[in-house]
């Protein structure tokens, strides 16, 4: 229904635009109806336009997503709207990706121009997807969405899961300053870990008897950056040989420590400590299993960014 509403609205708006353009000759914007319909959407190649806009069909057996069996979501090539989940995909041996169900509300059925078949389009942008066939006996749902691979993009589930890493390297203002600017990092938070008091305040931790370390929670996109990248940045932005704190900040809450979340992270951290030892550094960094992250008070978050200042006890030094 949405697609039909969109078409009606677009035709109405297009005629209004044309009228406005006629009224003011100084501000005429020349756009074709096709350009108007695709404003704000992804740019399409000529072959994608042939299928998605002109309702063409790709050659059977040629689509990139035909054999794809990974877990994830198939989204509209033109507007990125999720259309199908991988759980609905099955092999109909027809040469096009087949699904026995759509994501609710994502696909609109229309009577095909040939008068026989049922066309399917993206409910959001009206882009042509393919055709739907019923009662063929392939799956219990008795439905086959026969979709042009070129009309879709695939987003794997694992690509969407952001990872969290935890690094203590002295005053958390300085640790966060470098991580928040790093490639692939989506978010950072500063707080405390490793102590024996729940939800400690900054004042409590400063009394040096709670056992917590100041640290930064780094939330990053693993398809853009790796845990190794994070570990390298950690070592390159503080003095990991200092045994009593960091720079002028002396005390147990300022010690250097990597809190690992799993064996893989532990192995990577261990590897880099070995590399540094081999380079002649006497590494003081501790390795500890991750425990509860207690977020610090709001005024500590993104401290230097908020003040427009630079760290006093952290600086970047290229090592690797």
User: Interface with Fe ion includes 127 (CB under 5 A)?
Assistant: yes
Residue 284: CB minimum distance to Fe ion, A: 54
Least Cβ distance, residue 141 to Fe ion (angstroms): 23
Residue 76 lies near Fe ion (rule: CB under 5 A): yes
Size of the site for Fe ion (CB under 5 A): 8
**Least distance from Fe ion to the Cβ atom of residue 39, Å:** 13
Asked if 186 and 99 count as a contact pair (C-beta separation under 8 A), the reply is no
Look up residue 106 and give its DSSP letter: S
Query: Is residue 218 a contact partner of residue 188, using CB atoms and an 8 Å limit?
Result: yes
Of 125, 185, 233, 255, the one binding Fe ion (CB under 5 A) is: 125
Among 124, 149, 151, 175, binds Fe ion (CB under 5 A): 124
Pick the closer one to Fe ion by CB: 81 or 288: 81
The reply to whether 130 sits near Fe ion by the rule CB under 5 A is: no
Among residues 73, 78, 175, 301, the one that binds Fe ion under rule CB under 5 A: 78
Rounded to a whole number of angstroms, the minimum distance from the CB of residue 221 to Fe ion is 24
Out of 146, 206, 257, 313, the active site residue is 146
Count of helix runs (H) and strand runs (E) in the chain: 9, 17
- Do residues 124 and 76 make contact, with C-beta atoms less than 8 angstroms apart? yes
Q: Which of 79, 122, 171, 313 is catalytic?
A: 171
- x/- track of binding to Fe ion for residues 132-171 (CB under 5 A): ----------------------------------------
Is there binding between residue 75 and Fe ion (CB under 5 A)?
no
Is 171 one of the annotated active-site residues of the chain? yes
Would you call 146 a catalytic residue per the annotation?
yes
| 80 torsion bin: left (phi>0), alpha (psi -120 to 50), beta (else) | left
What tokens appear for 74 in the block?
């198939």
- Find the binder of Fe ion among 79, 146, 150, 313 (CB under 5 A): 79
In the bound complex, what is the minimum distance in angstroms from residue 307's beta carbon to Fe ion? 44
| Token reading at 276 | 């540094």
Walk across the sheet containing 152-156 and list its strands: 82-85, 72-76, 152-156
Token duo for residue 116: 């026989």
Nearer to Fe ion, 98 or 151 (CB): 151
Check binding of 231 to Fe ion (CB under 5 A): no
Distance of CA 155 to the CA centre of its chain: 10
Distance CA 1, CA 8 (A): 11
Q: Do 91 and 101 touch, CB atoms closer than 8 A?
A: no
Per CB under 5 A, contacts with Fe ion among 242-271 are: none
Choose, by CB under 5 A, the member of 122, 193, 215, 218 that binds Fe ion. 122
CA distances in angstroms from 37 to 49, 53, 113, 194, 281, listed in the order given: 12, 10, 20, 56, 61
- Which one of the spans 119-127, 139-147, 273-281, 307-315 is the region binding Fe ion (CB under 5 A)? 119-127
Report helix angle 227-236 to 263-278, nearest 10. Answer: 40
Part in contact with Fe ion (CB under 5 A); list of ranges 110-118, 122-130, 185-193, 250-258 = 122-130
CA distance 274 to 225: 22
| Footprint on this chain of Fe ion (rule: CB under 5 A) | 76, 78-79, 81, 122, 124-125, 127
Active site residues: 146, 171
């Amino acid at each position: 229904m949405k697609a039909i509403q969109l078409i009606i609205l677009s035709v109405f708006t297009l005629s209004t635009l044309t009228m406005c353009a006629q009224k003011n000759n100084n501000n005429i914007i020349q756009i074709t109806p096709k350009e108007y319909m695709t404003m704000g959407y992804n740019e399409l190649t000529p072959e994608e336009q042939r299928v998605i806009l002109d309702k063409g069909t790709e050659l059977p057996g040629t689509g990139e997503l035909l054999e794809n069996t990974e877990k994830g979501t198939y989204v509209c090539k033109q507007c990125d709207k999720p259309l199908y989940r991988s759980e609905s995909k099955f092999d109909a041996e027809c040469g096009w990706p087949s699904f026995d169900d759509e994501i609710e509300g994502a696909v609109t059925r229309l009577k095909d121009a040939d008068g026989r078949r049922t066309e399917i389009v993206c409910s959001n942008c009206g882009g042509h997807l393919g055709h739907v066939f019923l009662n063929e006996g392939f799956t219990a749902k008795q439905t086959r969405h026969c979709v042009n691979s070129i009309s879709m993009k695939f987003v794997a589930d694992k690509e969407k899961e952001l990872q969290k890493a935890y690094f203590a390297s002295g005053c958390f203002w300085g640790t966060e300053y470098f991580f928040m600017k790093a490639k692939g990092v989506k978010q950072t938070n500063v707080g405390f870990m490793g102590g024996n008091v729940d939800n400690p305040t900054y004042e409590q931790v400063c009394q040096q008897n709670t056992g917590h370390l100041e640290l930064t929670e780094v939330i990053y996109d693993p398809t853009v950056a790796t845990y190794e990248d994070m570990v390298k940045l950690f070592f390159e932005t503080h003095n990991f040989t200092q045994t009593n704190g960091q720079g002028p900040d002396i005390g147990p809450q300022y010690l250097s420590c990597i809190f690992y979340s799993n064996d893989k992270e532990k192995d990577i951290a261990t590897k880099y400590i070995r590399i540094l030892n081999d380079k002649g550094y006497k590494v003081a960094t501790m390795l500890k299993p991750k425990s509860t992250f207690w977020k610090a008070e709001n005024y500590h978050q993104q401290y230097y960014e908020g003040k427009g200042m630079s760290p006093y006890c952290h600086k970047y030094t290229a090592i690797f």
